[in-house]
Amino acid sequence: MNRIYYSVFGPYILKFIELKNSLGYKYQDAGWALASFDHIAMEKDVFEIAVTKELADEYCKKRPNESDKTRYNRIQILSQFARYLSDLGFISFIPKLPQFKSTFTPYIFSRDQMQTIFKVCDELAPSPCNHNTTVYAIPILIRLLYSTGIRINEALYLTCNDINLHEKYLVLRNCKNGKDRMVPLSDSLAKACEEYFMYRNQFPSIRKENWFFIKPDGSQMNRGSAYRWFRRILFFANISHGGRGHGPRLHDLSYPNLNKIQTF
């Protein structure tokens, strides 16, 4: 369901988000961020289609209980929107991104832990009451994140056409600066992907989407489902979890580690 925007920027916000989505960007949070900007514009009775410094400064103020990362992300969205308006001829002030340094320490999995995680993945089974589950794709997802270092969102938005098993690489679409990026696959990972493809192609899919990671009905695996299975895997692998926001996180699988296992 599309949001409704009430200020003079409303139609341009909708077109901006539509443009970003059409280019393959994952712009789930842009609607929320620009709705806040839209509200400020309404309160200030803005009638000119241009992001002024005064308007940007008001929007960019740090909010109560707001993390530095959240503030950085919403200012980044406004900055991109201001550039979009400027390209259309509505010269706008482009806010400077604040300095942001993450204080999060990634969890580095040991070789023994990863061996256990892979074993648990291969022993997962669907519930007797629910066969339309993402569990079938979890073993290859965990291996892909660990081996290639790509992010979970990048993995979930892969299509079958993005995986080249003959030349052993995958393609990430619309990365930074709107460019595609090729990521090599190890021999063992390429073989694991091939086995998953064979199994995946037997699904009685009723949808036309071509996502690589799917449920048996063809629908795309989502991040929430991947995270829930990851938490379950950690439990069976006897790896403690510090609670939401403390990890280990799915992204920690992708973190550079000189001791990574080369084969599965």
Q: What is the mean pLDDT for each group of 10 consecutive residues in the chain (264 residues)? A: 85 91 69 92 94 96 90 93 95 90 79 95 83 89 94 91 95 76 94 93 76 90 92 94 76 72 50
Contacts of 25 (CB under 8 A, 6+ apart): 174
CA diameter of the chain: 62
- 124 and 181 assigned to the same domain: yes
- 120 and 249 assigned to the same domain: yes
Residue 103 token pair: 């204080």
Which of residues 43, 71, 87 is at a domain's end?
Answer: 87
| pLDDT attached to residue 22 | 72
Give the residue from 57, 16, 58, 52 showing the smallest Cα distance to 40. Answer: 58
Q: Give the structural domain span for 56.
A: 10-87
| pLDDT attached to residue 21 | 75
| pLDDT attached to residue 263 | 47
| pLDDT attached to residue 264 | 45
Q: For residues 243 and 225, what is the distance between their CA atoms, to the nearest angstrom?
A: 17
- 148 and 211 assigned to the same domain: yes
Strand partners, 130: 127
Residue 100 token pair: 């942001």
In a domain, 264, yes or no: no
Q: For residues 9 and 38, what is the distance between their CA atoms, to the nearest angstrom?
A: 7
Domain count, the chain: 2
CATH of the domain at 120: 1.10.443.10
| pLDDT attached to residue 45 | 94
- 64 and 124 assigned to the same domain: no
- 193 and 83 assigned to the same domain: no
- 174 and 75 assigned to the same domain: no
In a domain, 35, yes or no: yes
| pLDDT attached to residue 113 | 94
